[in-house]
Amino acid sequence: MIPGFLHLHRSCSLAFALLASFPALAAKGYIEPVMVNIPGGEITLQSPILPPPPTSSSAQSSAVASSVAPPMTPPQAVSIKPFRIGKYEITVKEFGKFVAATDYPVPEQCRQMHSKNWFELAPGNWKNHTHSPGDYGPVTCVGWPAAEAYAQWLSKETGKHYRLPSEAEWEFAARARATTDFPWGNDPEQACRYANILDQSANAAVKRDYDGLEYSGRNKPLACDDRAGYASIVGSHQPNAFGVHDMIGNLNEFTADCFNPTFSEKNAHGRARTDGDCDQRVWRGGSWHWEPVEVSRRGGLAGNFIGALEGFRLVEELDAHHPCQQPNSQACKKLAKNPFAEELTNARRLRQKAHKS
């Protein structure tokens, strides 16, 4: 059998079933992301000092595992203003609205698992690559510029201010006030409840689809099993204390920040760094291909890198008149009634039934 063929067939069946259930949403020109209100607060940023990321669009991230503990950045206190963040990573279906409306020139090659050589640059795009779980999985193979263009387009369509998160905002939302290595605590073996990471299902999927290939060495599968071989439908794992899903695992997530090897007072206001090397961008969170990465872990990628392990979510800025300046107000609660949330819930329910069959 062609690798992933049965998986693709089930994804298409799922999409058709849900399309019939939500005709009004399907006809809309855009899909607003499901958002979560994040209160303001303080956070201290500190992580390993990063080497400069590779400049090639085909190179891997600068966050490279090593047996030697890297030097740490000095701690940097940061103040965060209230904002809203996507409850989930942006999905294939949401991104598809953007492509249809703008005819955006999406990349047609993507660094993805293509053979026993692991990741290679091969034909593939946002809706057609080797690891997509369908319309309700996180969009990938798009690159940082497309993520930025999507945010600008959605802002124009809705009249709201959507953008990529700063890495300070990302970490604040991911931690949800936790001071531990992971949002759920310090035990990586608990990851399968909260994150789609390198576990027994991922190892089994790679072995099945790539002629017995197995993870080994620094990429060692956890003993747990979240039943997701590759990327999963967004929201398939438990959320953090703020109610946000998949901040660790599933896909590495782009931030708005230009690459800097350390933090500084320029991070203190919580906004994205626009100094440094802006041909490189910072990612956060890790992916299904890796063991769970600590919430403070960061990496850099060339801005023109197109890979199957990178995606994004959006934040919405709160201006002085935004109803969610008062998150308990009826006007803000009304914004939480997003029909796409119900569609995603049904998608996860159908996928769970498919797993059991």
Q: Mean pLDDT for each 10-residue chunk of the chain (357 residues)? A: 38 44 58 97 93 60 52 95 98 98 96 87 91 92 97 97 98 98 96 96 92 83 92 97 98 97 95 96 96 94 94 96 94 94 95 78
pLDDT for 154 equals: 98
What CATH code is carried by the domain that includes residue 139? 3.90.1580.10
pLDDT for 218 equals: 65
- What stretch of H or E contains 113? strand 109-115
Contact 194, 184 (CB under 8 A): yes
Contact 172, 179 (CB under 8 A): no
- The pTM is what? 0.89
Look at the chain and report how many structural domains it folds into.
Answer: 1
Sequence-separated (6 or more) residues with CB below 8 Å from residue 322? none
CA–CA gap between residue 102 and residue 152 (Å, rounded): 12
Strands 35-38 and 162-163 come out as unpaired
Q: What sections of 131-199 are H helices per DSSP?
A: 144-158, 167-175, 191-194
How many residues in total does the chain contain? 357
25 token code pair? 């949403």
Range of the domain at 257: 5-356
Contact 246, 235 (CB under 8 A): yes
Name the 3-class secondary structure at 67: coil
